[in-house]
Chains A and B, each alone.
Chain A
Amino acid sequence: MLQLANPLNASPLIFPMIECFHIAGFVMAIGTCALIDFRLLNLAMAHQTSAQITKDTGPWTLAGLILVICSGLLIYSTDPDMYYLNLPFLLKMGFLVLAIVFHYTVLRKVALSSEPPGKSKLAACVSLALWVAVVFGGIFIGFTSPNLSF
């Protein structure tokens, strides 16, 4: 069987370097999403409307998501079997899909319109909780032994 070595595994330095791009990407993506959430909760940027912040940060959120997903795929490729069997990784992927879908559907709709505050605050809390869950999942990947079964 043809065995192709992943060039990313050629040097032990490449992995942490890709992770730096991964960090830059999630700071851009999650941080800007969180700012919209904080605006909806009236905790930041009171002079601007949530719609204005959503439009202004939109390209940065998208660029961050592209960077974080591309670097994430490279990270995944270094050891796919380990990730595939890793419970925190699987949970993280689930929360990530939920967080992105929620951000571009419910949260976006709420942030761009002027919905009643109760509803928009609930949406902001759900969004924040989903993103926090994604980060926790990411960290716990590295702290879970592949042999450990839950």
Chain B
Amino acid sequence: MLLWLARWAENTEFFTYIRASAYTYPVILSLHMVAIALFGAMILLTDVRLLGWAMRSCSVSDVVDQLRVPKRIGFLFAATCGVLLLGSKAEDYYYNIFFRIKVTLFMLVIVHALVFRKSVYSRAAALDRDPQIPGRAKLAAVLSLILWVSIFSAGRGIGFILAPGGLHYGVP
């Protein structure tokens, strides 16, 4: 079923165009990376603030609440580009082990949100009043950092399998 969907998607006119055009694919990939830089830094700053490692002159709620919207915009931007990349080579992605790892990690991100959103991210103002940042918030931050580092590493792995004989490895 998923494989059928993947084959159908990559053979639509739209995704065939992305795959076939010399410049469209790398342009989307570049935009994907730009979005990751923005989104990744928002995640990083939110988490290091929860850990008390940086942004100490701002309150926890200032960082968590003010970065929420740009973080979501960055994620949507990255995800949109990601879907375009996926669709253009959907069948390869279906079989790609790093893509499967990445999808699993995204499911863990959802679990992370279900577990920690209510107790950490949505009550940043209450964290300001705590004399110390609670262990639960620090745990959420560490897990979030591990998850996102794993996700972009898996993403890098996808390209490694898609083009093992790519230009970086010598002229074909």
Using a CB–CB cutoff of 8 Å, the interface residues on chain A facing chain B are: 12, 15-16, 19-20, 23-24, 26-28, 30-32, 34-35, 38, 43-48, 52, 55-57, 59-60, 78-79, 82, 131-132, 135-136, 138-140, 142-147
| Given A135-B33, A136-B30, A139-B33, residue A20 in contact with residue B57 (CB < 8 A) | no
Bound CA span A12–B169, Å: 8
B157 touches A82 (CB 8 A): no
Bound CA span A2–B152, Å: 39
Q: Which residue of B lies closest to A27 (CB)?
A: B40
A138 touches B33 (CB 8 A): yes
Whether, in the assembled complex, B101 has its beta carbon less than 8 Å from a beta carbon of chain A, the answer is no
A20 touches B54 (CB 8 A): no
11 pairs, A vs B, C-beta closer than 8 Å: A24-B149, A26-B33, A28-B41, A35-B42, A43-B70, A46-B66, A48-B66, A52-B57, A60-B48, A78-B168, A138-B33
Q: Which residue of B lies closest to A83 (CB)?
A: B168
The 6 closest A-B pairs by CB, nearest first: A31-B41, A27-B40, A30-B37, A139-B30, A143-B26, A16-B160
Whether, in the assembled complex, B146 has its beta carbon less than 8 Å from a beta carbon of chain A, the answer is no
A45 touches B167 (CB 8 A): no
By a CB distance below 8 angstroms, the chain A residues around B166 are 142
Mark interface residues in B141-172 (1 if CB within 8 Å of A CB, else 0): 00000000100110011011000101111110
Bound CA span A48–B67, Å: 12
Contact of B41 among A30, A140, A142 (CB under 8 A): A30
A31 touches B167 (CB 8 A): no
Bound CA span A135–B78, Å: 14
For chain B, the count of residues having a C-beta within 8 Å of the partner chain is 42
The minimal Cβ–Cβ distance linking B41 to chain A, given in whole angstroms, is 2
Q: Which residue of A lies closest to B69 (CB)?
A: A44
Bound CA span A145–B44, Å: 35
By a CB distance below 8 angstroms, the chain A residues around B171 are 145-147
By a CB distance below 8 angstroms, the chain B residues around A131 are 37
Whether, in the assembled complex, B2 has its beta carbon less than 8 Å from a beta carbon of chain A, the answer is no
Q: Which residue of A lies closest to B171 (CB)?
A: A146
A23 touches B45 (CB 8 A): no
A57 touches B55 (CB 8 A): yes
* Residue among B38, B48, B69, B160 facing the most chain A CB atoms (10 A cut-off): B38
| Given A20-B153, A23-B156, A34-B38, residue A55 in contact with residue B57 (CB < 8 A) | yes
Bound CA span A5–B153, Å: 27
Q: Which residue of B lies closest to A31 (CB)?
A: B41
A27 touches B36 (CB 8 A): yes
* Residue among A46, A47, A131, A143 facing the most chain B CB atoms (10 A cut-off): A143
